[in-house]
DNA sequence: TATTGTTATACTCTATAACTATA
DNA sequence: TATAGTTATAGAGTATAACAATA
């Protein structure tokens, strides 16, 4: 039996027109970064490592004994903000600031054994995380292209 | 005349090894987003528009009268955070919350004439900004690829 | 009970200015 | 004078929990 009055359906649940915003690098970069950071924090919550902290540990491991400001500059982090990061890592006994031999102003940054150990754990966690990232992006070629494009945005 | 003692140069100003961090999507995305946001704020400082605010105005213009939570959801912004954004825009007389006809819980969001006017200005500023972005990325094809890859990171 | 808007709070990352100690 | 590290503060964005009014 047919319905008596087949009223026109005005689609009350209509999807919004997002065309302007969907084409905006500004908007997409902000969203992608936000979601990405959240996933990272979730994935590394067991290790209590934030994205910036993981980058710091990685770079120190590859460049032990360098000055605090050298590490900061290589990561694109300002000296003032880097101090707080290092305080946090040092309070967890992951890094240490040794006195530099020829310049009493500067600190030579090193990982502690605890820091080396946590970094080893973190690198295993990162392998999973970057694999998920790789899958989302669509393979190594897409990932490399993505990294290239991100670098072009710098400077 | 040759130098007498050609001492081995230990390169005191040696560049750091950034290979681990340079390959990390985590790191590059964080850096690119940060620099990009700063450039946006500088470019739009005359209009006092932040990235999120510009996206909000754009989306409202294309979807006037929609519910506050619909706009927020389409932008991937949580309701709670969106309230603060709307308060700020409304205090500047750029948007208004009208009472929705069929649901006294919800607000129908509109741009004011001032909002339309500012958005027109902002769109001109955005044209410059996205052109600079296009140049950095290396053309429209690279830009479109970048947007595609950013979208793949979502969800 | 579920949804809409709201408030409050905390967290990640960033920028800037000003200070101390050392070079 | 310049550099290394530091402190303090502000800003942009995010997440979560809880609440009142309405459906």
Q: pLDDT tens digits, residue range B70-105?
A: 999 999 999 999 999 999 999 999 999 999 989 999
- List the B34 CA – C14 C1' distance (angstroms): 7
**Nearest-CA residue to the C1' of C20?**
A105
**Nearest-CA residue to the C1' of D17?**
B80
Tokens 């400001």 sit on residue: A69
Give CA–CA dist A58/A79, Å, rounded.
Answer: 18
Give me the pLDDT at residue A11, please: 40
Q: Which domains does chain A have, with CATH numbers?
A: 48-152 (1.10.10.10)
Q: What whole-number percentage of chain B has pLDDT above 90?
A: 88
What are the Cα distances from residue A72, in Å, to A99, B7, B26?
Answer: 17, 31, 16
Looking at per-residue confidence, does A124 or B4 come out higher?
A: A124
A16 touches chain B (CB under 8 A): yes
Q: Is the CB of A25 under 7 A from strand D?
A: no
Give me the pLDDT at residue A138, please: 96
Nearest to A54 among B26, B28, B51 (CB): B26
Residues B153, A137: contact at Cβ < 8 Å?
yes
What would the pLDDT profile of A8-17 be if each residue is shown by its tens digit?
Answer: 333 445 799 9
Mean pLDDT of A61-76: 98
B108 touches chain A (CB under 8 A): no
| Largest Cα span, chain A | 94
A93: its two tokens: 């006994």
Put simply, the answer to whether A137 touches B129 (Cβ < 8 Å) is no
Residues 6 or more apart in contact with residue B26 via CB below 8 angstroms: A36, A40, A51, A54, A55, A126, A129, A130
């Amino acid at each position: 039996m047919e319905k008596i009055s087949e009223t026109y359906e005005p689609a009350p649940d209509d999807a919004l027109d997002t065309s302007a915003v969907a084409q905006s690098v500004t908007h997409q970069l902000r969203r992608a970064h936000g979601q990405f950071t959240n996933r990272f924090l979730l994935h590394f919550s067991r290790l209590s490592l934030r994205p910036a902290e993981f980058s710091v540990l990685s770079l120190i491991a590859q460049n032990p004994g360098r000055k605090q400001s050298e590490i900061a500059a290589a990561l694109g982090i300002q000296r003032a903000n880097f101090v707080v990061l290092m305080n946090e890592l040092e309070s967890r006994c992951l890094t240490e600031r040794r006195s530099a031999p020829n310049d009493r102003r500067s600190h030579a940054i090193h990982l502690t054994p605890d820091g080396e150990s946590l970094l080893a754990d973190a690198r295993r966690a990162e392998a999973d995380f970057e694999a998920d990232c790789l899958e989302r992006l669509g393979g190594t070629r897409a990932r490399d292209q993505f990294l290239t494009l991100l670098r072009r945005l710098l400077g």
